Amino acid sequence: MSAKFNRRNEHRPAVTARWRVLPLLAATVVMSVGVECRAQTCDVVLTQGPGTVTIDYNPFAVGAASGALDVKLENRADNACDLRLSFADDAGVETAGVPLGGVGVQFRPRESSGVTASSLEPGVFHFTLAGHSTGQAQFDVAVVVDAVPEAGEHGADLQLLMRDVDRTELLPSVPVRVVLVSTPRAQLNLAGAAGAFGSDSSVEVVDFGDAVTGATRRIFVQVRANTPSTLTIRSEHRGVMRRVADDKITTESSVPYSVDLDGADVDLTALWSRDVDPPRTLAGISLPMAFTLGVVGHQMAGRYQDVLTIDVSPN
């Protein structure tokens, strides 16, 4: 459209209008895709709880001790459910393990069951359960820090938390009790013997060489235990060494001797005993044991010996 204005006269300006109609094809294309956005739905049911986990622990044994913790679950939803599993203490704090009588235990996934440990959150585990299926999340409650706990039971009460990946609670927390059972035990070792702690028996030879009145020798009796114990000593020949040949007693000729243990005289004429309560460590306590020859004079020449049986047992 155009307009002309003539300012030199006062007549109404002439207006010429031209309309041009252009064909116009206007098209609006609206494309939409319907996407269903919803959080994963888990319908998980606990079909078997862990109950009490028991660890039989021998502080003096070689090898790791552990207890099994199994949780059986059912997913009733159509979709797979990604579970976030963790253990919490009484204060609700997630934890990777607990101390039991000074022994450190830790929750470890049994990966053959499909449980994996989180690489970002210590003590958190992941377990995927397919839709309309059952599965078992399996853990080992393993000893990772050894100690010598007092004999008896040492327990801790925890809660198993089951959530989805968004930390939404799927089930009420499940109580879990972990118990470490420390059976009364006591062991001894004679320092310098061929045996060691835990051997069924060991032999220490105290050799005086040529017999001389008043000669002395010393060994150490090492005792470790997780409870008060009793140490006993028995002399085969009731405090004398008898003459032997080819490992057999040949005469009544004998050499007397005496023993003291940690400064206390040992009565070798009968079974002698002493209460011991070593510190709860792997080293335990070391008691000096002194041997002193009696009078040596008119005994027959030869080799003389006695056998002392030294034992320790928990009370």
Listing from the earlier edge strand, what are the strands of the sheet with 229-235?
A: 272-276, 229-235, 308-314
CATH code for the structural domain at 186-314? 2.60.40
- Structure tokens given for 267: 């009565």
Please work out, in degrees rounded to the nearest 5, the angle formed at the alpha carbon of residue 256 by the alpha carbons of 253 and 258: 160
CA pair distance 109, 21, nearest whole angstrom = 79
Query: What is the structure's pLDDT at 252?
Result: 79
Which tens digits make up the pLDDT trace of 154-170? 999 999 999 998 999 99
Which tens digits make up the pLDDT trace of 82-130? 999 999 998 889 999 999 999 999 999 997 889 999 999 999 999 999 9
What is the residue extent of each domain of the chain?
44-182, 186-314
Helix/strand/coil percentages in the chain, nearest 5: 0, 50, 50
Bridge partner residues of 104 (DSSP): 99, 145
Is-same-fold flag (44-182; 186-314)? Answer: yes
Specify the fold of 44-182.
Answer: Immunoglobulin-like (2.60.40)
Query: What is the structure's pLDDT at 199?
Result: 52
Percentage above 90 pLDDT, the chain? 71
Listing from the earlier edge strand, what are the strands of the sheet with 44-48?
A: 44-48, 66-75, 133-145, 103-109, 97-100
pLDDT averaged over the chain?
A: 85
